[in-house]
Amino acid sequence: MAVGLGGCVPVFAGLAGVVLGPGMLGPGMLAGGAPGLDAAGDSHFRYLSGLLLGIGLGFWSTIPALPRRGARFRLLTAIVVLGGLARLAALPLQGWPGWPMVAALGMELVVTPLLCLFQARFAAPQRD
């Protein structure tokens, strides 16, 4: 259940980014308060949103056989943590990104690794 609920965040955020583009962030959320991105920036934003959607669907795909999907779960977790570290590295360079991005950082660097530890613990009895 925790994996299913946690997977809602990347699935819905990724889907919103694909459909709405940078507009999903709301006014003033783009770097420097810019009202929008050019076509290349919009395209890249939607591409990264599609990756986020795929990561969420990947986590959901582990649910039916969670104890046997450890390798997939660890790979997805590593991808998410790497993205979180990149976001964290931007803080001193770009400043405070706002609460939604800080919440995403918490999901990336705290919640997802904890779910991965849970998955490993859940899978451990299955190895015997």
Q: Tens digit of pLDDT for each residue in 41-97?
A: 889 999 999 999 999 999 999 998 988 899 999 999 999 999 999 999 999 999 988
Q: Domains in the chain: how many in total?
A: 1
Mean of the per-residue pLDDT values for the chain?
88
pTM: 0.85
Query: 31 is in which domain, residue-wise?
Result: 2-127
Residue 54: alpha-carbon gap to chain centroid: 10
**Is the confidence at residue 33, as pLDDT, over 60?**
no
User: Given phi > 0 = left and psi -120 to 50 = alpha, else beta, which region is 92?
Assistant: alpha
